[in-house]
């Protein structure tokens, strides 16, 4: 039963939290914005230029959409490539200017529209390789006069997605193609044939990257979502290691400068970091981004930071810290479409290009920090008056506390000592920003008394004297002396009216009252909603007749005899109601009204207010039974309609307490735990037909089995310890 | 290609699949024929064959019905368990393939079955694994199937569908895939057959993943793929198109796309667009073409055209695909050429403008293929250029298929000659 009650309770508190958050925003929000502004100021001073205007990215517009860029080894020149563009730009920290346009002349073949571009190094420092959309690889020589085309290699049958120069030997070029092959070219060799061809035995190759430390190694990302590590020296031409990294295509890979860690990004919106030397098949870190990851690159000089851009629908260029994967550390969002390529020129400078035709040079100073837009403190309360709050405890402006989460470098050094293998990894995975949480109890509302009153107050005013007395006793026992006194006064005020009626119909009312209290007792036990209707139907027809008589007579008498008394008491009663409204004690208002409703007149609008807010409160505290009682007792049509339209009765599984989603005819088994619902306690089969159960412990079964069982035993067949039979004579009523 | 299609026009050839003449009636499924009627069709001998295998209740028949017979995924619940090999010719689709649905409980490598006959001409063997079930048994069976089939025919491409992944969390999916991959790789390595390559796909019939998996599988069997891809690349770069798909109209499988990465959003919105067009064609399309039993082509007679012209623009519901926003206005332009001859040119086109500024543009390439492009609004201003480029593209595609068709025929003729010579 406690597990059963958890779900709705959580829901209730959740809504209460949400509601309170709205209200708390206005108060707390100002505080947090102030602190975040302070943070921002401090950061500016950190860069030692508090007065200078914020850094503006250098922009340069090109005639067409851009697909890729690459910088020369010295970082002064950048080549940008697209379907209609192939230009070399001269980029300084002030401006970008066009240097050479490689896409000149009249005969512009497909060779001039590029998927990817790379600038050579060392021996090929004046050469540029582009991957054309038609599968050709074109080598351009900048020193050549006239047409710069040095060589056209067309050996791939499908488009080439990525080209890559070996880091220390610019003559070796790798190309990754849609046709599933990775080919290595030696540019010193005048023959056109590929030196090696690596067949990934997988689908299209999306990316290929040389290992910066061990330059004979390279990694490739495939459209099947796998990444593979190859060694060029391996004569067998088979991959050394294969990781199925992504769900859906892997679009990009990048080696960490340490030479053993590889990051990969894919269409499944994740960036994953792998240790390529270990045998673990799980990534070291996973960063979940907002959109498919199209390119990634580690930030030089910062071992734990990696930049990424999306394939579509996200125009930002994000820099992440692997130790804090849930939020980007920096974001550049100057582009108006998704960036298609970017490269770090130095630890603080990044160049990027996009389909919006702009080439841009950003500095890290110009990036905004998403973390500063976040509110780090929070507050909320639940209906029981508990206030919960969390406070950001991080002291400095560090994004990640280096001491507590060592990250990649320290890990690597630790592992190189080979003392710890896997345990070290798991220790230091994520940075958790320090926070303090607290719960304070604010005794604004006495939940206990409220629910006791809600469950025990008599709300049937037919026997006013008795009802008032009972209610007074209850209030007294809960030490609500004022309320108890109120009940006493009400009793006195209307006692004489009552007595006249009492003398007329003493026996009938007595019986009625008895019946009523039984109902109350039942509901107090916390039984199902049904009990209300049960009690009504259990009232014998004779009683109902009497009720009718009563009502008829009381209405008669109220017109003839009691009108002077009403006018007498009306003022006091009005004061009473006024007092409790001021106190915002809707419980008292409603209960009082229900008791004395025959004798007083209250504005209907006010009544509806009371009732709806009281019912709302009751429901919030999960006092469904009491709420239904109130709704049924309410004289206002609008409120009564609550029970008439769209009443859904949800059934929970009696095993796992999950909601059973059955058809309109009900269902036989629980979807969650795959157990039968309400099987017979004796034979454990589904009961088709008559199902008999004990109102006390809710266990039951086939009519026949139950009868057999209880003819011998008096305790529940499930062994729950409940004595189901009161005595032999009540066996009939159990059924 | 049109020459080939003419072959299918006479009703005689349609006999095995006569029910499909009304294929776009509401979910018309037809019990597949178990009889092989290949004899009639002279190209049947060269149809690549797709085998669907797997343990029983792994979802093979459901896949077949959903992908090739347009059954709504929820209805697959009521499919009976398959008891014998169900063969289906997918003739009316561009993909001239046979799909064989193998019952799960029979062992086909026993001597009772001619494994040479079954696996001899198979293009792709698709093994379906139920990811929600305990898959150890399935992995064993996969190993057994792969090794046995490989012995018979080493040219088969093996594809593994890790199926029913709907309802699994992303992490669990990738873990399952990794586990299955590792187990199979280990088993193959033990058998010293690690050179066999398996491709794995995570699929579910409740989303587009099954179509994407089939697209990739079928693309491997299409010899013209590099050419098609290059053609699409050229088209894209010259017309400012962001992404172009060449769809098989019936199955919503894309048989080629340009070389930029496929993202699920654009694929889903394009395949939904086909549904929209087909629905509209069902309502306003010409009846006579359907009665010919020939085409899923979207075309209309004069009356239809006037009816369309008078009807207001159809606005699609706002429930568009996630990132793309709802379809803002749907401008249906069903252009038709008056059909004088039986060989009409399929000329349907459709244009949907999305709220985010993207334009979806559909053109019918031939009766079986449609091209769907996604491009920015700005690029679409050069509408005439795109149309001209499309015409070139269409001619090129027709040439490609005619060429490969002739090559097929000549090969077939050569084969026959050889057989004849041998018999003599």
DSSP characters over B137-187: HHHHHHHHHHHHHHHH-TTPEEEEEEE--TTS-HHHHHHHHHHHHHHHHHH
Nearest to B226 among A158, A267, A313 (CB): A158
Q: Do residue A312 and residue B265 have CB atoms under 8 angstroms apart?
A: yes
Convert the pLDDT of each residue in B142-156 to its tens digit: 888 888 888 888 888
3-state secondary structure of A530: helix
Nearest to B265 by CA among B192, B335, B325, B193: B325
Chain B interface mutation, best of A83, A116, A136, A159, highest count of B Cβ atoms under 10 Å: A159
CA distance B109 to B401: 37
Cα first-last separation, chain A: 23
Q: Which two tokens stand for residue A608?
A: 């509806």
> CA nearest A208: which of A238, A175, A240, A239?
A175
Calpha distance A426→A141 (Å, rounded): 49
Cβ contact, residue pair A244, B202, below 8 Å:
no
Note whether A134 contacts B: Cβ–Cβ < 8 A. yes
pLDDT averaged over every residue in chain A:
75
Whether residues A135 and B226 touch (CB distance < 8 A) is answered with yes
Q: Which pLDDT belongs to residue A21?
A: 41
User: Is-contact A230 A201, C-beta < 8 A?
Assistant: no
Task: Find out whether A206 and A252 touch, Cβ atoms under 8 Å.
Answer: yes
Return all residues near B406 (Cβ < 8 A) that are at least 6 apart. none
Number of neighbours of residue A284 by Cβ within 10 angstroms: 19
Identify which of B301, B296, B241, B257 has the alpha carbon closest to the alpha carbon of residue B274: B296
Q: Of A113, A161, A244, which is closest to B237 when you measure between CB atoms? A: A113
Pick the closest to residue A271 from A290, A526, A403 (CA basis).
Answer: A290
Asked if A67 reaches chain B (Cβ–Cβ under 8 Å), the answer is no
pLDDT at residue A384 is higher than 90: no
Question: Which conformational region is residue A403 in: left (phi greater than 0), alpha (psi within -120 to 50 degrees), or beta?
Answer: alpha
Q: B367: burial class by Cβ within 10 Å (0-12, 13-18, 19+)?
A: buried
Distance between CA B410 and CA B400 in Å, rounded? 15
Residue B381, CA distances (Å) to A83, A709, B88, B375, B384 in order: 18, 84, 44, 10, 8
Chain A residues in contact with B170 by the CB 8 A cut-off are 247, 268
Give the residue among A114, A113, A110, A88 at the shortest CA–CA distance from A99: A88
**B366-398 pLDDT, tens digit each:** 878 889 999 888 888 888 889 899 999 999 988
Tally C-beta pairs within 8 A across A and B. 78
Question: Which one of B154, B165, B174 makes the best mutation probe of the A interface by having the most chain A beta carbons within 10 Å?
Answer: B174
Q: How many helices (H) and strands (E) does chain A have?
A: 15, 33
Question: How do residues A226-269 score in pLDDT, each as one tens digit?
Answer: 888 888 887 777 788 888 888 888 999 999 998 889 999 998 88
* B225-405 fold: Beta-Lactamase (3.30.450)
Which tokens sit at B235? 């088209």
User: Is B170 in Cβ contact with A247 (below 8 Å)?
Assistant: yes
Asked if A134 lies within 8 A of B261 by C-beta distance, the reply is no
**pLDDT tens sequence across A28-52:** 333 333 333 334 333 333 344 444 4
Whether A495 and A476 have beta carbons less than 8 Å apart is answered as: no
Put simply, whether A311 touches B (Cβ < 8 Å) is yes
**pLDDT over 70 for what percent of chain A?**
74
pLDDT digits (tens, 9 = 90+) for A302-331: 888 999 999 888 888 999 988 888 888 899
For residue A6 the two structure tokens come to 């958890």
User: Closest chain B residue to A116 measured between Cα atoms?
Assistant: B260
Q: Which of B251, B175, B181, B205 is nearest to B59 (CA)?
A: B205
A576 near A592, Cβ under 8 Å? yes
Whether the Cβ atoms of residue A498 and residue A465 lie closer than 8 Å to each other: yes
Determine phi and psi for A209, rounding to 5 degrees.
-145, 135
Q: Which residues of B are less than 8 Å from A201 in CB distance? A: 197
Residues B359, B242: Cα–Cα separation, whole Å? 10
Domain B9-219 has CATH 3.65.10.10: no
Q: Is A357 helix (H, G, I), strand (E, B) or coil?
A: coil
Residue A500: per-residue pLDDT: 60
SS3 assignment for B120-136: CCEEEEEEEEECCCCCH
Q: What are φ and ψ of residue B62, in 5° steps?
A: -60, -45
pLDDT in tens, A132-171: 877 888 888 888 877 778 888 888 888 889 999 998 888 8
Contact B230 A135 (CB under 8 A): yes
Q: Taking CB atoms and an 8 Å limit, are A312 and B323 in contact across chains?
A: yes
**Among A39-43, A265-269, A405-409, B236-240, which stretch is predicted with the lowest mean pLDDT?**
A39-43
Q: Can you tell me whether residue A182 is helix, strand or coil?
A: strand
- Taking the C-alpha atoms of residue B414 and residue B420, their distance in angstroms, rounded to an integer, is 10
End-to-end alpha carbon distance in chain B: 35
User: What count of Cα atoms within 13 Å lies in the side-chain half-sphere of residue B31?
Assistant: 6
User: Mean pLDDT, chain B, as a whole number?
Assistant: 71
Give chain A's length: 735
Query: Rounded to the nearest 10 degrees, what angle do helices B302-310 and B264-284 cross at?
Result: 110
Burial of A444 (0-12, 13-18, 19+ CB in 10 A): exposed
Instruction: Give residue-wise pLDDT tens across range A477-508.
Output: 988 888 898 888 888 887 766 566 555 554 44
- Select from B182, B237, B263 the Cβ nearest to the Cβ of A311: B263
> Does the model's pTM come out above 0.80?
no
Higher pLDDT, A331 or B175: A331
Q: Taking Cα atoms as reference points, which of A237, A138, A133, A130 lies closest to residue A181?
A: A237
| Domain locations along chain B | 9-219, 225-405
Nearest to A397 by CA among A329, A306, A474, A467: A329
- Cβ contacts of residue B417 below 8 Å, gap of 6+? none
Cα B102 to Cα B55: distance, rounded to the nearest angstrom: 9
When pLDDT is averaged across residues A334-353 and rounded to a whole number, the result is 90
Distance between CA atoms of B418 and B398, rounded to whole angstroms? 30
A555-559 mean pLDDT: 40
The nearest alpha carbon in chain B to A243 belongs to B178
A252: DSSP letter: E
Question: Distance between CA atoms of A279 and A275, rounded to whole angstroms?
Answer: 8
């Amino acid at each position: 039963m406690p597990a059963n009650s958890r779900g709705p309770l959580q829901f209730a508190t959740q809504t209460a939290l949400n509601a309170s958050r709205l209200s708390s925003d206005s108060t707390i929000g100002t505080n947090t914005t102030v602190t975040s502004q302070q943070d921002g100021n401090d950061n500016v001073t950190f860069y030692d230029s508090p007065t200078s205007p914020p850094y503006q990215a250098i922009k340069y517009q090109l005639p067409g959409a851009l697909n890729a860029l690459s910088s020369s080894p010295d970082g002064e020149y950048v080549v940008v490539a697209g379907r209609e563009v192939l230009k070399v730009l001269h980029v300084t920290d002030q401006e970008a200017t066009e240097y050479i346009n490689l896409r000149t002349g009249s005969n512009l073949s497909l060779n001039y529209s590029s998927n990817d571009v790379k600038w050579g190094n060392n021996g090929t420092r004046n050469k540029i390789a582009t991957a054309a959309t038609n599968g050709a690889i074109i080598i351009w020589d900048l020193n050549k006069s006239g047409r710069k085309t040095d060589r056209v290699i067309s050996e791939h049958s499908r488009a080439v997605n990525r080209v890559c120069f070996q880091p220390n030997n610019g003559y070796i070029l790798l190309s990754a193609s849609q046709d599933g092959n990775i080919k290595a070219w030696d540019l010193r060799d005048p023959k056109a044939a590929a030196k090696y061809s690596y067949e990934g035995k997988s689908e299209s190759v999306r990316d290929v990257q040389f290992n910066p430390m061990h330059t004979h190694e390279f990694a490739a990302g495939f459209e099947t979502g796998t990444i593979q590590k190859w060694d060029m020296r391996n004569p067998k031409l088979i991959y050394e290691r294969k990781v199925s990294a992504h769900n859906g295509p892997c679009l990009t890979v990048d080696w960490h400068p340490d030479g053993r860690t590889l990051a990969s990004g894919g269409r499944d919106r994740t960036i994953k970091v792998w240790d390529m030397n270990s045998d673990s098949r799980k990534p070291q870190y996973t960063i979940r981004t907002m959109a498919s990851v199209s390119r990634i690159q580690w930030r030089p000089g910062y071992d734990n930071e990696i930049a990424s851009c999306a394939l579509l629908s996200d125009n930002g260029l994000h820099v992440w810290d692997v130790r804090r994967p849930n939020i980007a550390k920096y974001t550049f969002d100057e582009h108006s479409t998704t960036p298609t390529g970017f490269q770090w020129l130095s630890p603080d400078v990044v160049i990027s290009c996009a389909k919006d035709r702009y080439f841009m040079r950003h500095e890290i100073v110009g990036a905004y920090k998403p973390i500063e837009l976040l509110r780090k403190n929070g507050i909320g309360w639940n209906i029981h008056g508990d206030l919960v709050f969390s406070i950001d405890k991080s002291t400095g402006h560090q994004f990640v506390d280096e001491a507590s989460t060592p990250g990649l470098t320290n890990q690597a050094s630790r592992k190189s000592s080979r003392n710890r293998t896997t345990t070290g990894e798991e220790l230091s995975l994520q940075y958790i920003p320090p926070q303090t949480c607290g719960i304070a109890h604010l005794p604004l509302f006495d939940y206990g008394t409220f629910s006791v009153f809600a469950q025990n107050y008599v709300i049937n005013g037919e026997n006013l004297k008795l009802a008032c007395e009972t209610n007074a006793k209850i209030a007294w026992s809960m030490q609500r002396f004022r309320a108890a006194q109120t009940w006493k006064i009400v009793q006195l005020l209307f006692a004489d009216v009552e007595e006249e009626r009492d003398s007329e119909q003493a026996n009938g009312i007595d019986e009625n009252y008895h019946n009523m209290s039984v109902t109350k007792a039942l509901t107090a036990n916390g039984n199902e909603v049904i009990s209300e209707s049960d009690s009504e139907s259990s009232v014998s027809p004779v009683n109902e007749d009497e009720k009718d008589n009563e009502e008829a007579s009381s209405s008669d008498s109220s017109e003839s005899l009691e009108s002077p008394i009403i006018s007498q008491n009306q003022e006091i009663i009005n004061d009473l109601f006024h007092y409790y409204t001021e106190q915002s004690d809707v419980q008292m208002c409603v209960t009082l009204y229900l008791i004395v409703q025959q004798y007083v007149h209250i504005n209907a609008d006010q009544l509806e207010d009371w009732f709806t807010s009281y019912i709302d409160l009751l429901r919030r505290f999960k006092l469904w039974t009491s709420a239904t009682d109130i709704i049924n007792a309410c004289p206002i049509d609008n409120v009564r309609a609550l029970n008439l339209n769209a009443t859904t009765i949800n059934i929970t599984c009696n095993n796992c307490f999950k909601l059973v989603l059955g058809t309109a005819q009900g269902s036989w088994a629980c979807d969650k735990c795959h157990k039968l619902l309400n099987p017979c306690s004796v034979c454990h089969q589904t009961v088709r037909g008559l199902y008999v159960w004990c109102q006390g412990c809710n266990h039951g079964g086939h009519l026949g089995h139950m009868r057999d069982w209880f003819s011998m035993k008096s305790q529940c067949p499930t062994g729950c310890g409940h004595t189901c039979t009161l005595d032999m004579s009540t066996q009939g009523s159990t059924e | 290609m049109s020459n080939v299609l003419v072959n299918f026009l006479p009703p005689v050839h349609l006999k095995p699949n006569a029910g499909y003449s009304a294929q776009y009636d509401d979910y018309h499924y037809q019990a597949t024929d178990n009889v092989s009627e290949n004899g009639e069709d002279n190209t049947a001998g060269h149809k690549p064959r797709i085998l669907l295998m797997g343990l029983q209740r792994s979802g093979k028949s459901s896949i077949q019905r959903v992908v090739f017979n347009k059954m709504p995924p929820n209805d697959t619940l009521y499919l009976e368990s398959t008891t014998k090999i169900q063969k289906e010719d997918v003739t009316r689709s561009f993909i001239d393939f046979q799909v064989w649905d193998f019952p799960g409980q029979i062992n086909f490598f026993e001597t009772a079955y001619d494994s040479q006959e079954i696996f001899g001409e198979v293009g792709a063997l698709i093994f379906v694994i139920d990811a929600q079930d305990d898959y150890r048994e399935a992995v064993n069976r996969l190993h057994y199937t792969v090794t046995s089939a490989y012995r018979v025919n080493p040219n088969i491409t093996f594809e593994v569908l890790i199926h029913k992944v709907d309802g699994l969390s992303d992490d669990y999916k990738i873990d399952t895939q990794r586990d299955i991959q590792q187990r199979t790789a280990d088993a193959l390595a033990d058998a010293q057959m690690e050179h066999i390559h398996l491709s794995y796909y995570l699929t579910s019939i409740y989303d587009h993943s099954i179509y994407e998996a089939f697209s990739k599988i079928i693309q491997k069997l299409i010899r013209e793929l590099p050419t098609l891809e290059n053609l699409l690349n050229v088209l894209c770069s010259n017309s400012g198109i962001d992404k172009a798909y060449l769809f098989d109209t019936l199955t919503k499988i894309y048989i080629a796309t340009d070389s930029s990465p496929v993202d699920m959003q654009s694929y889903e919105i394009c395949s939904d667009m086909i549904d929209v067009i087909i629905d509209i064609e069902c309502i306003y399309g010409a009846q006579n073409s359907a009665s010919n039993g020939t085409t899923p082509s979207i075309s209309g007679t004069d009356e239809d055209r006037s009816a369309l012209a008078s009807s207001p623009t159809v606005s699609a519901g706002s429930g568009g695909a996630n990132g793309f926003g709802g379809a803002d206005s749907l401008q249906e332009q069903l252009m038709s050429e008056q059909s004088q001859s039986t060989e009409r040119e399929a000329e349907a086109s459709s244009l949907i403008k999305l709220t985010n500024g993207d334009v979806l543009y559909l053109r019918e390439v031939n009766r079986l293929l449609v091209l769907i492009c996604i491009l920015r609004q700005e690029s679409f201003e050069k509408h005439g250029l795109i149309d001209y480029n499309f015409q070139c593209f269409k001619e090129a595609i027709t040439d490609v298929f005619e060429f490969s068709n002739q090559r097929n025929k000549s090969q077939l003729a050569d084969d026959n000659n050889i057989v004849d010579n041998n018999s003599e």
